[in-house]
Amino acid sequence: MNRAFLPFLKSLFVAMLAVSSIAIAAEEKEAAKADPAKGEAIYTNGDAARNIPACVSCHGAAGNSTIVQNPKLASQHESYIYKQLVNFKGPERNNAIMSPIAKALTDDEMKNIAAYLNAQTEKPGAARNKDTVDIGKKIYRGGIAEKSVPACAGCHSPNGAGIPAQFARLAGQHQDYTAAQLINFRSGARKNSTPMTAIAKRLSDDEIQAVADYVAGLK
């Protein structure tokens, strides 16, 4: 064999290994891909054999909760929902209802449910209190400089769409739920976001209510 040909063969072999590795990685990624159809089945029907109730009973058809204390989950970022379910398994979000349910779900089931909800369309909400909506808008868009409260829009985007894999979608969320979560962050009852805990501690009850109301009307 021509020795001058050996470097070419070596390069070809390395290239083939690289292509093979990419193909294997792609196959593994596809195999691990969440299944929204399976997520819908759990969300809609639960699993009686494992004492997992249907999510729809609290969070509504296709994630559009009609109970103001329970969050709308339709269109919420897949990675965010998955993270919250993981947090419900631990001390970060200890909740009498959600923690037992989350602990009964497998990792794949949590990902499947998250994928299903992410694909649903959220029904819009609306601000209720015209007297405070301007205050909520000011805080959401500009923060409160004298209290070192940053603009909510900086992380959750001007229209409340959030940033996938980083910050939750807030647009259209129930006022009561948003306010309750800010109060939980402030009190330490909810422990899964250090930035939100620090921000919530600087907000008064009235400011929390104003922001929650403004967020409900975002689209």
Tell me the CATH number at 142: 1.10.760.10
Dist CA 7 CA 9 (whole Å) = 5
| Predicted pLDDT of residue 11 | 55
Q: How many residues does the chain have?
A: 219
Whether residue 125 is contained in a domain is answered as no
CB atoms within 10 A of CB 100: 14
User: Mean pLDDT throughout 49-57?
Assistant: 97
- What's the pLDDT tens digit per position in 106-148? 999 999 999 999 999 999 999 999 999 999 999 999 999 999 9
| Predicted pLDDT of residue 80 | 97
User: Mean pLDDT throughout 49-59?
Assistant: 97
CA dihedral for 87, 125, 180, 163, sign (positive or negative): positive
Dist CA 201 CA 178 (whole Å) = 15
Dist CA 189 CA 181 (whole Å) = 9
Tokens of 125: 């909400």
| Predicted pLDDT of residue 137 | 98
- Contact at 8 Å (CB) between 64 and 123? yes
Rg (CA), the chain: 22
Residue 8: half-sphere exposure toward Cβ, Cα within 13 Å: 5
Do 23 and 41 share a domain, yes or no?
no
- Contact at 8 Å (CB) between 72 and 64? yes
Domain range spanning residue 197? Answer: 133-216
Question: Which has the closest alpha carbon to 99: 88, 84, 83?
Answer: 88
Whether residue 97 is contained in a domain is answered as yes
| Predicted pLDDT of residue 183 | 98
Do 40 and 28 share a domain, yes or no?
no
Do 42 and 66 share a domain, yes or no?
yes
pTM of the model: 0.84
- What's the pLDDT tens digit per position in 170-215? 999 999 999 999 999 999 999 999 999 999 999 999 999 999 999 9
Q: Is 167 helix (H, G, I), strand (E, B) or coil?
A: strand
Residue labelled with tokens 């985007």? 157
